[in-house]
Amino acid sequence: MPKVKMARKSTLIDMTAMCDVAFLLLTFFMLATKFKPDEPVTVVTPSSINTKLLPDSDIILLTVDAEGKVFFSMDGQPKRKKLIEDLNTQFKLGLDQQQMNNFVVGASVGTDLKDLKTYLSMKPDERKASGLEKGIPTDSANNELETWINYARTAQGGNPRLQYCIKADNETPYPKIDQIMQTFKDLKIQKLNLVTNLEAIPPGTAAAQAQDGPGSTEEH
Amino acid sequence: MAEMDTSSSGGGKKHQGTKSKKLSTRVDMTPMVDLGFLLITFFMLTTTMAKPKTMDLIMPKDTEDEKEQNKVKESTALTILLGKNNRVFYYEGLAQDPNASSDPEFFQATTFANKGGIRDVIIKKRDEVAQLRNAKGEPEDVVVIIKANDGATYKNFVDILDEMAINRIQRYATVDISEQDKQWIQQTVSANPGTGGAQ
Q: What is the pLDDT of residues A93-118, one digit of tens each?
A: 878 888 888 888 877 888 888 788 88
Point out the residue among B50, B54, B155 whose CB comes nearest to the CB of A50: B54
Residue A166 pLDDT greater than 60, yes or no:
yes
Q: What is the pLDDT of residues B110-149, one digit of tens each?
A: 888 878 888 888 888 888 888 877 777 777 888 888 888 8
If one counts every other C-beta atom within 10 angstroms of the C-beta of residue B137, the result is 6
Find all residues with CB under 8 Å of A145, minimum gap 6, and list them.
A62, A70, A72, A136, A137, A138, A180, A183
Residue B12 pLDDT greater than 80, yes or no:
no
Residue A3 to chain B, least CA–CA distance (Å): 31
Contact criterion met (CB < 8 Å) for B58 and A198: no
Contact criterion met (CB < 8 Å) for A207 and B167: yes
Which residues in chain A are closer than 8 Å to B46, comparing Cβ atoms?
Answer: 33
Residue B166 to chain A, least CA–CA distance (Å): 5
Phi, psi of B53 (to 5 degrees): -105, 165
Give Cα A42 distance to the centre of its chain. Answer: 12
User: What is the torsional sign of CA B66, B70, B74, B75?
Assistant: positive
Residue A9 pLDDT greater than 50, yes or no:
yes
Which residues in chain B are closer than 8 Å to A63, comparing Cβ atoms?
Answer: none
Q: Where residue B177 sits, what CATH number does that domain have?
A: 3.30.420
* pTM of the predicted structure, to 2 decimals: 0.72
Split into its structural domains, chain B has a count of 1
Q: Residue B141 in contact with residue B171, Cβ under 8 Å? A: yes
Which residue in A194, A197, A198, A209 has the most chain B C-beta atoms within 10 A of its own C-beta, making it the best mutation to test that interface? A194
Residue A61 to chain B, least CA–CA distance (Å): 12
Distance CA A109, CA A122 (A): 12
Q: Which range marks the domain in which residue B144 is found?
A: 75-191
**Confidence band of A133 (pLDDT split at 50, 70, 90):** confident
